Amino acid sequence: MLDFLFYCFLGILFTYIILLVLILMGDCDLYLQFASKFGKKPSALKGKVVWITGASSGIGECLAYELAKAGCKLCLSARREQELNRVKKQCLLHGNIKEEDILVLPLDALKFETHSSATQDVLKYFSKIDILVNNAGRSQRALFEETSLDIDREVIELNVLGVLSLTKQVLPHMLERKEGHIAVMSSIAGKLSAPSSASYTGSKHAIQGWFSTLGVEMSDRNIKVTLLCPGPVFSNLLETAFTGKAGEVWNKYNSIKSLIVPLLHMYLVLWNLRVIQ
């Protein structure tokens, strides 16, 4: 009996050591590592119509390149049409798609009244929307007591209400077709709290609640809902972040990124350790 318990203990210890090594060596959580290794390849998405918001830079831009390589048909949206055309050019240059497979559709996530017509434009061009990637958003950096209510409102309108508004326009189409996938760019800030980013963290916690509920409601209706929670990512997100005052931009990312990234990575490690316990 003691030998059995000893071997059980060794098995559990060995399992935890393996999981810890995977976490420390990986750049994502354990679920994503498993899916990357054993899940479907990006090429399985060939021919799917994917609408990406916030596609002019950062994660949205890089996602567009990967999906273009996979042979997806893309609708690229953001406020800056010139940057969208740049991304389109790169997609055509390095991807596995043709000119007619990409629709550049300028969109301001805060102009809710345009979301219905934008959705109809995508449907008119492609006849369907298989995947909606809600990626548009902005970060925020300031202490809680230094952040005005106006900033809280702006962050919530962009990061939460803008996402909800567009999703509510696309969802009826997916329900009518009885298939679809809604992906939402949350953040590790949707799981953990960090100082000097209460507005941003609060908006991502809100996203988690809204779309987790949507996922439950859609679980038996063939509509998939995925919440993406990236950790540290090199992009212009913090260069354009809100501060605590209206009209200001933080724009300090380049000077302190060497400090931010290790801290965020440590948060990610700690969160994974908490999950597997």
CATH number for the segment(s) 41-276: 3.40.50.720
Query: What's the pLDDT tens digit per position in 70-81?
Result: 999 999 999 999
Which active-site residues does the annotation give? 200
Q: What is the mean pLDDT of residues 181-205?
A: 87
Query: What's the pLDDT tens digit per position in 224-253?
Result: 999 988 766 666 666 666 666 676 666 765
Task: Supply the pTM of this predicted model.
Answer: 0.82
- Please give the Cα distance from 128 to 147 (Å, whole number): 41
- Please give the Cα distance from 149 to 141 (Å, whole number): 14
Query: What's the pLDDT tens digit per position in 43-55?
Result: 889 999 999 999 9
- Name the residue with higher pLDDT: 247 or 219: 219
Q: What is the mean pLDDT of residues 84-109?
A: 95
Q: How many CB atoms lie within 10 A of CB 242?
A: 26
DSSP the chain: -HHHHHHHHHHHHHHHHHHHHHHHH-SS-HHHHHHHHHS--GGGGTT-EEEEESTTSHHHHHHHHHHHHHT-EEEEE-S-HHHHHHHHHHHHHHSS--GGGEEE----TT-GGGHHHHHHHHHHHHS--SEEEE-----B-B-GGG--HHHHHHHHIIIIIHHHHHHHHHHHHHHHHT-EEEEEE--GGGTS--TTBHHHHHHHHHHHHHHHHHHHHHTTTTEEEEEE------SSTTTT-B-SSTT-B---HHHHHHHHHHHHHHHHHHHHHHHH-
Q: Could you tell me if 61 and 77 are in contact, meaning their C-beta atoms sit under 8 angstroms apart?
A: no
